[in-house]
Structure 1
Amino acid sequence: MSKKLLLVCMAAIMVLITACSNNNNTGSSNPPANTAGTNETAEGDAPEQQEKVTFSYFNGVAAAKDINTNETTIGKMLEDQTGVNFKIEHLVGDLNTKIGTMIASNEYPDVMIPDAAIDKILDAGAFIALDDLIEQYGPNIKRVYGPYFNQMKAADGKIYFLPFSNVVGEFIPDPNIGQGAFWVQRRVLKEAGYPKVNTLDGYMDLVKNFVEKHKDEDLTGFISLTHDWRFFSTSNPPMHLLGYPNDGNITIDMTTHEAKVYAATDATKRWLQKLNDLNAQGLFDKASFVDNYDQYLAKLTSGKVVGFFDYGWQFQNAQSALTDAAKLDPAKDDFVYFPLPVTFDGQKDQYLDPPGFVKNRGMGITVSAKDPVRIIKYLDNLLTDENQILQRWGIKGETYEVDENGRMFRTAEQIAKIDEPFNESFGFKYYSWNWPLYGNGSSYADGNSVAPGLQPEVFQMSLTEADKVILEKYGVKTYAELFAAPDDRPWFPAWGIPKEQGSEQQIWETKKDEITKKYFPKLVLAKPADFEKVWTEYTTEFGKLDTAGYEKWTTDEVKKLIDTASSK
């Protein structure tokens, strides 16, 4: 063999070895290209290839099947970028029991959303502090969450989890109803001639009359969700019926900013007495106090439940199933639920949330995490504009388009194919929430909405003929137009004000929940003649709590937030 030929052969071998070496590791930690100029990568980070890894993730709030993120289109693309996959476990059963088992064993998933049990997780020291990780590996986290860092800090000055409600860019309101409302089957309104219903009595009469006219259908007039931490769906209505937004256990006077607990007031009595009346007439589902969340959703999708109160985000799985069925068979649109801004006496409602920041819920990395650095890099990578578009809009040409003016939209064909099975397989179901993200109401620098459903072009295109008919009957173009615009509340939501585990306020809330969960079923299911007696027992027990102290603490915290907002 000639020397020249030998050199050629050696060069070819080296190329082959290099190519094979590069193909041995298909995972990449490199984020997408920064086309918008607003995304960052950690200083000093060089392109690197890492072995693929799977982390465990417990989601204590969402209802969905357990899955590996790389089984979805979005998750696989993110794994290709980072080499990271998450095995998601969703809550089954009681949240506090699940969290208690973790704490007792001191064994946790790598990351978790403990939702309402977050105080227990923090008190157990189950979350690691994120400050150093963010400083070293989280440039996008700093960009997106930076304005909220002071609000995210615990009493020790450290950050232990990332919330999901941070607004990026200009705020865009939701044309749909993702928050609270009194819901009723559309066929009820159709049969009644599309009446304007904005009082509690008017709403209940609507439900009662429909059930009476359809006795052969074995309908349930009204159902209520009470399972575990979701009990608020039964205890919250009094504040909404009074014309207040969801501030949790209290209402806040718009003039004095004084916080008042409503759980044992005439408003709650009036609400529970109405449910008691429904029960006496055979219109209330007694199983409401024993059904779990999945059973509740199943009943809503059955077509047998006429009405209920709940938050749109909470029963979205059921509503999606109903709307998907209506797409295949327009006659089934009768069973889709329609939101009504019901108050006690028709006063101005405040169901729509103003811009706010929820500080006491989020995702944290646990002390059991195998590789916190790898995890924080993955979470930071989610917060590029490109990956926020991937998470919420999907893939250009497949799930969205861009017009000549740079406006993002979806075609009728794309909207039609994005049903619940598609949401699951593509990953929208698993990535639209419960991760670090640009919160609802956020917008990109070019004015496009981060959430497709809030983009006017998408909302209008997503409306079915049945949607258009019923909205036209009520003289509006969006569901939000049925409701009063939200008033500015710099403290909102007050329920998101952090409370230390073991504090007087946290103990008050725990005892309050215990008392309401004990007495509300008794009050609703009691014989009407016994209602006053049970109410007296309830208020006597409730009167033992230091409610005045809780109100004063909340008032002081609200005024601090108002002062902070005023000083900006």
Structure 2
Amino acid sequence: MGGIWKKSSMVIVIMVLILSLIGCSSNSNNGTADEGSKNSNSESSTGGDAAGGSTEPVTLSIFGVVGSTVVNKPFQDDQVMAELEKRTGVKLDFTSELNVTDRAEKLAIMLAGNDLPDIVVYNSLTDSSKIQSANAAMPLDELVEKYGPNIKKNAGQAIELMKQASPDGKLYYLPGGIGNVQFSPLVNDNSWNIRWDLYKQLNYPKLETLDDLLNVLEQMQKLEPMNKDGKKNYGLGLNLSETWGQLMIDKAIANLQGFVQALPNDAYIDMNTGKLVPRISDPDNIFWKSMEFYNQAYRRGILDPESATLKYNTITEKYKTGRYFASTTHWSLGGADEQFITQGTPEKGFLPFMIDYNKQNIYVGQATYNGDQFQMFISKNCKNPEAAMKLIDYLYTNEGTELLTNGIEGVHYDMVNGVPIVKDEEIKAALADPNHFVQTGIHKYDHLRRYIPQNNPNGYPTEFRDVPETVAKVMTAAQKDFMEHYGYKTVTEAFTKVPTYVYDTSVLGSITTPAGSALQAKEQQLDAYLIANIAKVIFQKNDADYAKAKDKFLKDYEAKGAKEVFDYYVETYDKAMAQSKVQ
């Protein structure tokens, strides 16, 4: 998830409870978050009076915030959610999240039936066009002006960019991740992650090129052909059957070569020039180098042959049960490292590697100064938009972000000499139980976060686990071994030695084709073709068949208007960059 959406999209048909029974209260709302600072950790504190002084909270229904595997009832009773309700006077109803295995599919069903909850968080990489076409979002300009002081303060430039991208100049969508710089001292979500214990058993073989990676994964399969349950192991797998699964194909390969993908599907930012270049429609670019890699992996028995039909939940389960040895991101492991520790094998774990990388520019740290792809809107179905906006405004404060990210002071962390220190018992509990976050709520609602500055105004990290004293405590045995072997001070030290390793994707992420336009229709056709047909290219058994499948794919793709769509993004991106002040 961060990162791209810690996304889960699968094919299922769901009965949705009647939203009029679970929607917002019609009570008016007065005085949730205000701009004034009330404690050293925040810009605002609400006092729980979102329902206009009523002792009963306002109920708002919501979708797109959590993974289906951690929601099994409409109302969450973890510590973070209980505290959020106390502070804002808003009770969130997650009914629309129940039993969802394909978020994109569920969202499409709700849009088609005009059955949306009050607040929706969606992945703009995959869902923007269908949401805009449905005209389901409420205009937010007046609501932000009246009830959004923290939105204006902390996301002013971001919402202006959103307005610029809007066909009528109005604000409909609110970006998340404002101000974020995603780069951890212990893990990396944008590079190859390899099973360290097996790599060590192989005596640290050469791992510089993609061919080296194929060889190493093949050796790992020989070393551990089956998992402890007697099931066949593979080097890696892909969730190609999901709408966003194709984004994982070139993720680590392109990132390490300095090509950034944010939006749309057929565009990279070339870090060498800062310009857009085609992602899919150029037959000689890094995307097709990635396709060749996966085709070779398939032909050598390294790629799970079920990848054409796999879903994200199944992928993460295979990582956690030891069936895969490499991943293009850390978050897609689904907590495999923690699972290994729980099972009494702490020496196991995935560590980030720089394979086939650009010596000047790599995209392993994502900056989203103007917002990430997890955009939010208030649906036209909402019966209490004022309460919704006041809740959202609280999410644009340091206090709101730090609650969702770190939990509650005195419960999950203590302030020691002005610095937040995660409690030892919290660290131990999280290491002992991979599902501990389900009970606490810490990082359970990451897609709800709207404003994530790298540091609190007082100087310490917004992510309290990145405080140096805590980093030393949360390190796993595998991470410590990795650092000792290479002589690193942090797991990701090698990345920081490349001149540019962080890039801001927020401007490109704010751009879409005009809603309801012929251009948007062409883009939708291109995206649908990509998702439906890319596996057919990868799963070819020889060079000749691969070349034929690639050629057919490109001809079909180009015939659907790829150049016209790409040219629109180039022109619009250049204008947006000229108007914005990217930090």
Shorter-chain TM range is 0.7 to 0.9
Letter of the structure 1 residue corresponding to residue 375 of structure 2 = G
Out of 178, 192, 197, the residue aligned to residue 202 of structure 2 is 192
Distance 1:203 1:410 in 2: 37
Q: Hey, which of these two has a bigger chunk of helix by percent?
A: 1
Task: Call closer, same or farther: CA 1:370–1:73 in 2, change over 3 Å.
Answer: same
Distance 2:566 2:270 in 1: 12
- Who is 2:552 aligned against? 537
Distance 1:327 1:417 in 2: 12
- Who is 1:270 aligned against? 289
- Who is 1:557 aligned against? 572
- Who is 1:34 aligned against? 38
Task: Call closer, same or farther: CA 1:360–1:81 in 2, change over 3 Å.
Answer: closer
Out of 369, 372, 378, the residue aligned to residue 385 of structure 2 is 372
Distance 2:178 2:112 in 1: 33
Answering whether residue 485 of structure 2 is matched by residue 473 of structure 1, we say yes
Residues 259 and 552 of structure 1 are in contact (CA less than 8 Å); yes or no, is this contact kept in structure 2? no
Deviates more, 1:480-489 or 1:448-457: 480-489
- Who is 2:362 aligned against? 349
Answering whether residue 222 of structure 2 is matched by residue 212 of structure 1, we say yes
Alignment of 1:152-551 (within 5 A): 152-153=162-163, 154-167=166-179, 173-195=183-205, 197-215=207-225, 218-231=232-245, 232-236=247-251, 239-240=254-255, 242-248=257-263, 249-254=266-271, 256-264=273-281, 265-266=283-284, 267-309=286-328, 311-313=329-331, 315=332, 318=334, 320=335, 322-334=336-348, 336-343=349-356, 349-358=362-371, 361-404=374-417, 406-418=418-430, 419-431=433-445, 433-439=446-452, 441-483=453-495, 484=498, 486=500, 489=503, 492=506, 494-503=508-517, 506-528=520-542, 529-551=544-566
Residues 491 and 558 of structure 1 are in contact (CA less than 8 Å); yes or no, is this contact kept in structure 2? no
Distance 2:371 2:149 in 1: 22
Structure 1 residue 31 displacement after superposition: 5.6
Residues 183 and 340 of structure 1 are in contact (CA less than 8 Å); yes or no, is this contact kept in structure 2? yes
SS at match of 2:59: strand
- Who is 2:3 aligned against? none
Residues 298 and 539 of structure 2 are in contact (CA less than 8 Å); yes or no, is this contact kept in structure 1? yes
Structure 1 residue 223 displacement after superposition: 1.1
The unaligned stretches of length 5 or more in structure 1 are 1-26
- Who is 2:9 aligned against? none
Deviates more, 1:481-490 or 1:280-289: 481-490
- Who is 2:106 aligned against? 98
Distance 2:363 2:353 in 1: 12
Structure 1 residue 166 displacement after superposition: 0.6
Structure 1 residue 233 displacement after superposition: 0.8
Distance 1:80 1:411 in 2: 23
Out of 60, 66, 75, the residue aligned to residue 81 of structure 2 is 75
- Who is 1:6 aligned against? none
Distance 2:547 2:308 in 1: 20
Letter of the structure 1 residue corresponding to residue 92 of structure 2 = F
Structure 1 residue 398 displacement after superposition: 2.4
Task: Call closer, same or farther: CA 1:238–1:136 in 2, change over 3 Å.
Answer: same
Residues 28 and 80 of structure 1 are in contact (CA less than 8 Å); yes or no, is this contact kept in structure 2? no
Out of 50, 59, 64, the residue aligned to residue 64 of structure 2 is 59
Distance 1:212 1:156 in 2: 59
After TM superposition, the score normalised by the length of structure 1 is 0.83
Task: Call closer, same or farther: CA 1:381–1:535 in 2, change over 3 Å.
Answer: closer
Deviates more, 1:481-490 or 1:530-539: 481-490
Letter of the structure 1 residue corresponding to residue 467 of structure 2 = Q
Residues 250 and 259 of structure 1 are in contact (CA less than 8 Å); yes or no, is this contact kept in structure 2? yes
Distance 1:390 1:488 in 2: 26
SS at match of 1:223: coil
Distance 1:305 1:208 in 2: 11
Distance 2:474 2:87 in 1: 31
Deviations 1:232-289 (A, max 9, x none): 1125455335332334432334465442213242333332222222222222211111
Identity of aligned residues (%): 22
Residues 443 and 449 of structure 1 are in contact (CA less than 8 Å); yes or no, is this contact kept in structure 2? yes
The structure whose Rg is larger is 1
Distance 1:108 1:45 in 2: 22
Letter of the structure 2 residue corresponding to residue 363 of structure 1 = M
Structure 1 residue 60 displacement after superposition: 6.9
Structure 1 residue 369 displacement after superposition: 1.2
Letter of the structure 2 residue corresponding to residue 494 of structure 1 = L
Residues 374 and 447 of structure 2 are in contact (CA less than 8 Å); yes or no, is this contact kept in structure 1? no
Distance 1:229 1:338 in 2: 27
Deviations 1:175-222 (A, max 9, x none): 244532222212222112234623211111110112123346532122
Distance 2:582 2:388 in 1: 36
Deviations 1:69-119 (A, max 9, x none): 551212222323343211113372444432332233222111112323233
The unaligned stretches of length 5 or more in structure 2 are 1-28
SS at match of 2:127: helix
Q: CA RMSD in A?
A: 3.3
Task: Call closer, same or farther: CA 1:393–1:167 in 2, change over 3 Å.
Answer: same
Residues 186 and 492 of structure 2 are in contact (CA less than 8 Å); yes or no, is this contact kept in structure 1? yes
Residues 276 and 525 of structure 1 are in contact (CA less than 8 Å); yes or no, is this contact kept in structure 2? yes
Residues 409 and 457 of structure 1 are in contact (CA less than 8 Å); yes or no, is this contact kept in structure 2? yes
Distance 2:358 2:569 in 1: 28
- Who is 1:147 aligned against? 157
Answering whether residue 116 of structure 2 is matched by residue 108 of structure 1, we say yes
Structure 1 residue 446 displacement after superposition: 0.5
After TM superposition, the score normalised by the length of structure 2 is 0.81
Residues 243 and 343 of structure 1 are in contact (CA less than 8 Å); yes or no, is this contact kept in structure 2? no
Deviates more, 1:460-469 or 1:211-220: 211-220
Distance 1:425 1:31 in 2: 26
Distance 1:45 1:61 in 2: 23
Task: Call closer, same or farther: CA 1:488–1:282 in 2, change over 3 Å.
Answer: closer
SS at match of 1:349: strand
Letter of the structure 1 residue corresponding to residue 330 of structure 2 = G
Answering whether residue 57 of structure 2 is matched by residue 86 of structure 1, we say no
